[in-house]
Structure 1
Amino acid sequence: MKTEVDYIVVGLGLAGINFVELLQKQGKSFVVFDSGENYSSWVSGGLYNPVILKRLTLSWNAAEQLDRALPVYCEIEARLGKTFDHKLPVHKKFQSYEDLNNWTIATDKPHLKPYLNPTPISNAPKGVKVPFGMGQVLNTGKVDTAALMQAYAENLRERGLLISERLDYNQLDLTTGVGYKNIQAKKIVFAEGFGLKQNPYFDSSKLKGNKGELLIVDVPDLKLDFVLKTDVFIIPLGGTRFSVGATYNWQDKTLDPTDEGKEKLLKALEKLIELEYTVVEHRVGIRPTTADRRPLVGVHPEYTQIAMLNGLGTRGIMIGPTVAHQLYEHLEHDQPLPEEIDIKRFYRN
């Protein structure tokens, strides 16, 4: 006997979760396939920060993305009865007086005023090295992506909506809608992250992938209640543990931790603190990034019942809810996708 649903969703990382959340709100039926191999979201720092601190500019569509994203995570928390969104200020370490002066200039710019505290911070916790002070970014926080994914998956599994296995592309029947074993769906959405590389239905050459490594460290004497940013982020995880990351490697696409990555992170950490620490864990993930730093969203050029939601890159917490909404509106109400995210931009004549 066939199980009939509106959607099959493949992948339950940030992209998949945000699309499934929309399906649930709109009363659509669905089933999710996820093998538990979403190595990008599992190692994500989970920060949402509207400012690119290196250049002191707003990230792409930051205001719009934040306005949509934060209520979504709040709704998920209310439904699952758990907290994932932790409001945390982000402090940028000033490297010089010139850096401090650039911050002061940036705080006068109208588009940055809502996000930058104009008053420099000179006081720092014991053992934190910030001789030129820090600047505080406003409207920031951290979503615990690992806890979110685990709780979301458990909820779907309890309701019989999650199949914990890798979807076999060879068993897809696209004659009418989407058939897969005993499931018949109207549409299928691939939200596989870097797993897109194995998908035969889409040209994955536009998904470049970016390897990131981060460390979990234990620092008993560090009293840090904010995220500290310089070459890397130090993010409080609760108690005496912190994440330090992340690296960016466009060549290596393996999931093997490297001595080079670890050494780079520890050097950056030791520039920030002068306290004893212990490395607890070394994590690796492949971010689904693109050359033009825009998501990959859209419908297959031949099979209109197949769609892709991918390429969220390093800011998936902020970007995910917006692009999921745009894809849903496109699939359900034929609303055009913004050209900058539409996969058609890569095969348009």
Structure 2
Amino acid sequence: MSAPQLDFLIVGQGLAGSILALNLRRHGKSVLVIDNDHCGSASQVAAGLINPVTGHRLNLTENFDHYWPVANAFYQSFGQLTGRSVHRDVTQYRRIKHPGQLTYLNKRLQQREYQSLLSRHIDSPFLATEPHSCIEVHQTSAVDTPTLLSQTKSMLLDQRAYSARKFNYHELSVNHDGVSAHGIRAGTVIFCEGYQAIHNPWLSTLPFKLAKGEILDVELSAPLPGMLSWGSWLIPSSTDTVNARLGANYDWQDLSLDPTPEIAQKLQTSLHQHTGLKAQVTAHQTGIRPTTKQRRPFIGPTRSLDHAYCFNGFGSKGCLTIPYYANLLCDHLISGKPLPEELTEWL
């Protein structure tokens, strides 16, 4: 008896693989997801922040108005499907730390595209002395990525669409009408492996720029009024205002999964310096972000392997951008709609 024929074999069940698998199944396609539950996955560790204004210069997140409606619709439909809400609005207070940044703020407040996103906050929630200003950043939200991943895994298991194993590249073979691996035949394989793509023989030369991030789970000395940000950020948990997450750093050199005590100390010092709050660390987590040198994801068919696609490279903004790009890839796979060249050029 021959192995069952599937439409798509998806390698990796992080945020990218999960959202893509759900979209393909919604279109009536048969899918099997293979995942080895690898530690260090950015999706498992991430705070899931969706932030419309970022950086020292308070820049509008590129294409936010395109990404946000699609992301919001996906997370709302996911909550309805599973009965578990994974997305919440967050009140973000951002500290303006010095006169140079205040100059940028005054400029942004005069620009039309920022009118609905930024407003001054007179009663600063920051306890540090002499802040230059405090603003509220609207349309900030957070995705509970661990719950989204666990709920997706449960659904896939119930539908016999999930296999817990390490994908063996040497077992992958290609024929005229698809691929075979681990006794599974599929029309197309899609690699959604996050930073583990550096070990994939067909993707290892892609210009990734991986970044290690570390996040602390903390118990605070006082309740939080909302999310505080000052270069680093502190966001309350979804259940109370005393337990929170504190992060995060970017390390382009040390890509080990070992927590760094110096980073934990640096984050705690920064927290106290800028907010006056003290925190007791209850957990210290690390993850590797699959960021790219050109700040664009890699999406499309691989030139080095027939019937194979890549869906990767979403970096720290994956919660915002992945639902949008999953729709693009589904439209391409199902209807043949061309993908933008900027997504496929490195593949």
Tell me the TM-score normalized by structure 1: 0.92
* 1:19 alignment counterpart: 20
- RMSD of Structure 2 on Structure 1 (CA): 1.8
88-97 vs 283-292, which deviates more? 88-97
* 2:97 alignment counterpart: 95
* 2:208 alignment counterpart: 207
Shift of 1:152: 1.3
- Residues 257 and 153 from structure 1, CA distance in 2 versus in 1: closer, same or farther, beyond 3 angstroms? same
Shift of 1:220: 4.0
Shift of 1:310: 0.4
* 2:193 alignment counterpart: 192
For each residue in 1:278-319, what CA deviation from the matched residue of structure 2 results, as whole angstroms up to 9, or x when unmatched?
Answer: 111111000001111111111111433100000000100011
Partners of 2:97 and 2:69 in 1: how far apart?
31
Shift of 1:219: 0.7
* 1:219 alignment counterpart: 220
* 2:49 alignment counterpart: 47
199-208 vs 141-150, which deviates more? 199-208
Secondary structure in 2 matching 1:74: helix
Shift of 1:125: 4.3
The one-letter code of the counterpart of 1:226 is: G
Aligned ranges 1:270-281 → 2 under 5 Å: 270-281=272-283
- Residues 236 and 299 from structure 1, CA distance in 2 versus in 1: closer, same or farther, beyond 3 angstroms? same
Shift of 1:332: 2.4
For each residue in 1:263-292, what CA deviation from the matched residue of structure 2 results, as whole angstroms up to 9, or x when unmatched?
Answer: 221121112332442111111000001111
* 1:142 alignment counterpart: 142
- Residues 98 and 201 from structure 1, CA distance in 2 versus in 1: closer, same or farther, beyond 3 angstroms? closer
* 1:308 alignment counterpart: 310
Partners of 1:306 and 1:269 in 2: how far apart?
45
* 1:8 alignment counterpart: 9
For each residue in 1:219-253, what CA deviation from the matched residue of structure 2 results, as whole angstroms up to 9, or x when unmatched?
Answer: 142x2242111120101013321111100011111
Aligned ranges 1:253-264 → 2 under 5 Å: 253-264=255-266
Partners of 2:168 and 2:314 in 1: how far apart?
24
Shift of 1:128: 6.1
C-alpha contact (below 8 Å) 1:129/1:271 kept by paired residues: no
Partners of 2:131 and 2:317 in 1: how far apart?
30
194-203 vs 209-218, which deviates more? 194-203
For each residue in 1:140-174, what CA deviation from the matched residue of structure 2 results, as whole angstroms up to 9, or x when unmatched?
Answer: 10001111111111221122111111111111121
Partners of 1:248 and 1:138 in 2: how far apart?
25
- Residues 302 and 138 from structure 1, CA distance in 2 versus in 1: closer, same or farther, beyond 3 angstroms? same
176-185 vs 136-145, which deviates more? 176-185
Q: Where does the alignment leave 5 or more consecutive residues of structure 1 unmatched?
A: none
Shift of 1:340: 2.2
- Identity between Structure 1 and Structure 2 (%): 30
C-alpha contact (below 8 Å) 1:16/1:191 kept by paired residues: yes
For each residue in 1:17-65, what CA deviation from the matched residue of structure 2 results, as whole angstroms up to 9, or x when unmatched?
Answer: 2211211220111010111116111111101112124222212211100
* 1:162 alignment counterpart: 162
- Of 243, 251, 254, 2:253 maps to 251
C-alpha contact (below 8 Å) 1:88/1:225 kept by paired residues: no
C-alpha contact (below 8 Å) 2:8/2:186 kept by paired residues: yes
The one-letter code of the counterpart of 1:227 is: M
* 1:33 alignment counterpart: 34
Secondary structure in 1 matching 2:284: strand
Partners of 1:275 and 1:127 in 2: how far apart?
8
- Residues 114 and 302 from structure 1, CA distance in 2 versus in 1: closer, same or farther, beyond 3 angstroms? same
C-alpha contact (below 8 Å) 1:3/1:183 kept by paired residues: yes
- State how many pairs are aligned: 342
For each residue in 1:84-128, what CA deviation from the matched residue of structure 2 results, as whole angstroms up to 9, or x when unmatched?
Answer: 1011022210113553443232022122223222xx113244856
- Residues 253 and 236 from structure 1, CA distance in 2 versus in 1: closer, same or farther, beyond 3 angstroms? same
C-alpha contact (below 8 Å) 1:15/1:310 kept by paired residues: yes
C-alpha contact (below 8 Å) 1:53/1:92 kept by paired residues: no
Partners of 1:126 and 1:322 in 2: how far apart?
35
